[in-house]
Structure 1
Amino acid sequence: MNSKLNSFFSRLTTGKRLALVLVAILLMITAAVYQTTKATVTIVKDAKENITVTTHAKTVGELLNEQGFKMKDEDDITPSLQDPIAGNMTVEWAQAKQISVSNNGEEKDVWTTAATVEELVDEQGITLDKNDYLSKHIDTPIEEGMQVTYESAFPVNVKYDGEKEEIMTTSTTVADLLEDAGVEVSDEDRIEPGEDKEITGKTDIEVVRVEKVTDVVEEEIDYATVTRRDDSLPKGEEEVVEDGKKGIIEKRYEVVLEDGEEVSRELIEEKQIEESEDKVVAVGAREPAVTASRGGSGNNPSSNGRTISMQATAYTANCSGCTGVTATGVNLNNSPNKKVVAVDPSVIPLGSRVYVEGYGEAVAADTGGAIKGNKIDLHVPSKAEAGRFGRQTVEVTILD
């Protein structure tokens, strides 16, 4: 090859040789100038990949096409594709990614060139409060196909432990809100509305503290007064033979408290601690013999009447379940001071006038389920008087 070139040049005249050398030098100078006139451009791809190239491209768009880059309309390119290329320039190219954004329940697909979730939130015009919900951390890099959910917090009024507090939340149920707010709830507590209730900004929540406690109460049981006829004592004179003693009963209650206030009380156990003991009173019965004519004033028994020793108790028409009307039709509610006795008609016929020791003259106008045989029940105006009478042995004289 070299020998052929040497032979070729040897045949040329000196002038032609000079011309060829000049052409070659010119071509070399032109090539050198072409290379030196290329612009140096740095392409920064997605803020992390730097590519440095030299180019004769006239615009940024031509440069990127020249490098074989495929761009989308949503990409962010600075300077723009139409801007001219200048030496030592930097082109920043942020490739857009398509992601799904849910903003307070409104979901849409968006193209974004944001590098992080924080930049995306700013890009979408979302003002992020500390109580708002964001499904991704703000430093999370944006990736193709990512889903980001945002929910703004709303106020809910919560009343508990005597305090009322406004809580900003994005919780969907009462239970979630109480847990997020750090409000502890026991199994006994009552939540209004229920824990599974869905909440909105208009929801008011109340936690009622419910507590069950046991209350033990001791109650006294009054003793009964029993009278005994004593013929050794003058009539009308009384003497205490045995003092009465009150008994004690223990009652155990289950008490329900709501926010410290008692709302219900249920008796669950009752136990006798001490038995009561009756008070025994001797009542004098000794009196001079009294003679009265039949049909007299009624203050004394007739000497002609039959006298019976009977067990006497007292009752009043003013009692629960009582009609106040006797077996013979006497309305004791209308005549509370009327002297009426209940008898066993087989012993004392109804309608008889009787004289009862310590009670006076009365009419046998009533009966009773427990009045059998030598028993008599004396009508008195009040329950208190009936209680004081107790049970006594008396002499009853049938006047007629």
Structure 2
Amino acid sequence: MAKSVSRVLRRKIILIRLYIVLLSLILVLALLALISQAALAKTYVVTDGDRVVTYTTFTEDPQEVLEQLGLSLNQNDTYTTQAVEGAAAITVRRAQKITVHYHGQTTLVTSFGETAGELLSRLGLEVTGEDVVSHGLEEATCDGMELSVDRPEILRQVYTAAIPHAVSRCNDPTLPTGTEVVLTAGSDGEMRCAAQITYLGGRETGRQILSETVTRQPVTEIIAVGTGSAQTQSDKPLIADGRIILPTGEVLTYTRKDTVRATAYTHTDRGCNTVTATGTRVHRGTVAVDPRFIPYGTRMFIVSSDGSYVYGIAAAEDCGGDIKGDRVDLYLPTHAQCTAFGRRPCTVYFLG
């Protein structure tokens, strides 16, 4: 019985030892596999612009490394490889579209991050001291850059320029308050200029005036600003026995009187302007006459024959194609005033 128990115990001990040996063998093999894998793995330092990644893998194909890192290459993109201490370096070179303008010629080229000077040199485009470059030659290229190399062109040109006219306003008590009448139409003057103009890439970048000669002086625009009030019945003069007593108390004398057919005109009517036939400026009191009937320079006092309208003191200073015989045309500042006046008989008192 004792011998039987002893044999069973020895068998168990032998099995346990076998298990231990087998387990040790498995551990040794696993350790050897890990050491082998570590020896076969490779480390890469991948640079893509500002992004730098250190990556360990078992592949030796740089293209696969980039794919594992999710770095896709677009058309014309490339990469370079280089051995560094303890690793391999992969540098992605992204294609950049650069527009080069060189002395009026435009070319679309591809760059991979070189400097502007290196790009121009690679393209065989010489830059001299007379050229103006849009970017520094040491500046790195970037996608979408427009690099221009132009040589200034200096030309002498002669041209005309406008001289703006001034505007002058003067108060006129004969016009109602709030009324403005252009007495003299303004016009710009003109000067002849000579200039040295610098062009760069077809665009003007500088202008030096060499001379300026006035060929036509500007004409100042003169505007009458009404400050007076409308006439009332109390403003009407007293006329009798060769005398005219104005509301102001001033006394005028007249030598004779006559009845005329009167109309009104203004300087904006067709064929009219602000200068009369005698060279004076039109104003309230300017009357167009037939100089054969009423000589130029004749001073008059004019009222409507029914006494409802007082034109006042006037002078024969203008004429017109339709003004014949006993017909007169009274100047009023606005077209509306002329329309309101219409056509009516008036009495002309010839002042002494």
TM-score scaled by length of structure 2? 0.38
Higher relative contact order by CA 8 Å / sep ≥ 6: 1 or 2? 2
TM-score scaled by length of structure 1? 0.34
Larger Rg: 1
Bigger strand fraction: 2
